[in-house]
Chain A
Amino acid sequence: MRIKAYFQRHLQVFMSCLGQFYRAPIAHFLTVLVIAISLSLPALLLVALENARSLVAGWDNNAEISLFLDQSLSPSEGEDFKERLLAWRELSSARYISAEQSLLDFKAYSGFGEVLDKLDKNPLPAVIVLSPRVSAPEAMAPLLARLQALPEVELAQLDLAWLTKIYAMVNVAERAAWVLGLLLAIAVVLIVGNTVRVGIQQRRVEIEVCKLVGGTNGFIRRPFLYMGVIQGGIGGLLAIILVGSALLLLNGPITQLAALYQSSFKLEGLGLSLSVLLLLSSITLGWLGSLFTVNHYMREIEPS
């Protein structure tokens, strides 16, 4: 009976909080909107970074290593060397480009053809272009070092060294997104705290009377905590909708852009786990904001 009464009471408090929402929709809706915008900003940034990451991961696969061979190696020695490299487990393919071929290519593409004609000797080395099986930048470094150490190799160069840089940039941006998220989370706590503060001020007499008739702090706190949770919850849902709509708006232009680069890149949405995370953190933040404020005023408001 006691337990049933307890749940009835909770349900009643919950419904009466929803009722407050209904009675003052504009004020509550503004709070909820601010929460939604605060949370959708970092969420959108994280989604964008997730997408950038998967895009870059696609580029990885055509990362190539160029081996500039020692000038003293003859073309047949170069071909042999290529065959030996093909036996390496780390490498999926190897292509030998002779010094002459390099020169022809260079003449054709660079526009320095006449200058090169004046040289009595071909300055370009023979090159072996390798496709590694591994793709992560971390795995690439030791492979590169091993290749560099071979006597036939003058210089081993990862063509997509800039990939590492992009990865680093994505990491920096991701960290920034979390920092931004943290700041905005604090903002949400403060916003909810402020709304609850106004609510407490309006219900000061009620709180005093409750204390006078033997209401525990837990009882008095309850409706305000529900208020914070409800505002956080609705704010979180709205944030998910905002992020979804923003991605929907971006989807068309991005698909067009990707098509121009012959890429079949597809924009990924928030996803279930990130949505749930967003909603849960929003509810938690609302609850926290309410808790801080209510605890402060619970001490201050005493019957007198």
Chain B
Amino acid sequence: MIRFDKAGKRYPGGFQALENISFHLEKGEMSFLTGHSGAGKSTLLKLISAIEAPTGGQVEVNGYDLTKISPRKIPFFRREIGIIFQDYKLLYDRSVFDNVALPLIVSGTSFREVGSRVRAALGKVGLSGREKASPIILSGGEQQRVSIARAIVHRPPLLLADEPTGNLDPDLARDIMSLFSEMNQLGITTLIASHDWSLIGRMGKRVLHLEEGRLQDPDRELGR
């Protein structure tokens, strides 16, 4: 699903955010991306979601060669991934329903289908019946659930999350993590950037550890 081959990212000005990254994430796999802040976690996720382009090596995601993807194709590439952000990136002038529906709207799904899919996604994250609410009145955990519903509503084969529990208290964080586990059991390849070691340890999944832009011991598995 995700294949990095000696990929790197150097920003204009010379800062080398990532260097010589090679790893392979299989279809249906769930894994964590760890490292201190500034180690390059976010940059790696940006490469995977085609927000940034690699400056060296090969990056292949879901069959797309991201080293030479044309800007025209990027929207269609992104329709097949779900992205979750630490700051949720919800639109606060729209209802929960409209927020979750956005990925379906941009791809031109019919109204009837939008309704049933949004309700299904909200049901999955435990927010049934909150469609009409404004995200602003929801708690942080609920907002993160809305953003997860938005990331899975179009049933993407790949789910990326950047510090999804960073702003949440431990109980909520655990809930969110088990939600990701559930998604993964449905066959969605999942990659989660996090520095919540205790939580990661408990999950017993593959861990990609970044240090100063390099991947450390790529196949180290915690808790096994």
Contacts and interface: CB of A to CB of B under 8 A. Distances in A.
Contact of B75 (A205, A208, A211): A211
B51 A214 contact: no
B155 interface: no
Contact of A219 (B77, B91, B106): B106
27 contacts: A2-B108, A4-B110, A5-B108, A5-B111, A8-B110, A205-B91, A206-B91, A208-B89, A209-B102, A211-B78, A212-B49, A212-B51, A213-B78, A213-B79, A213-B102, A213-B103, A214-B75, A214-B76, A214-B77, A214-B78, A214-B103, A215-B102, A216-B106, A217-B75, A219-B106, A302-B51, A304-B46
A298 B105 CA distance: 19
A209 B108 contact: no
A99 B215 CA distance: 116
Q: Interface on chain A toward B: helix, strand, loop, or mixed SS?
A: helix
A206 B93 CA distance: 10
B6 to A, nearest CB: 25
B216 interface: no
Interface of B: 46, 49, 51, 75-79, 83, 89, 91, 102-103, 105-111, 150, 154
A199 interface: no
A37 to B, nearest CB: 32
The 9 closest A-B pairs by CB, nearest first: A214-B79, A215-B106, A214-B78, A213-B103, A5-B110, A216-B75, A214-B75, A5-B108, A303-B51
Interface residues of A, number: 23
Nearest to A213: B103
Contacts of B75: 211, 214-217, 219
Interface in A1-46: 1-2, 4-6, 8-9
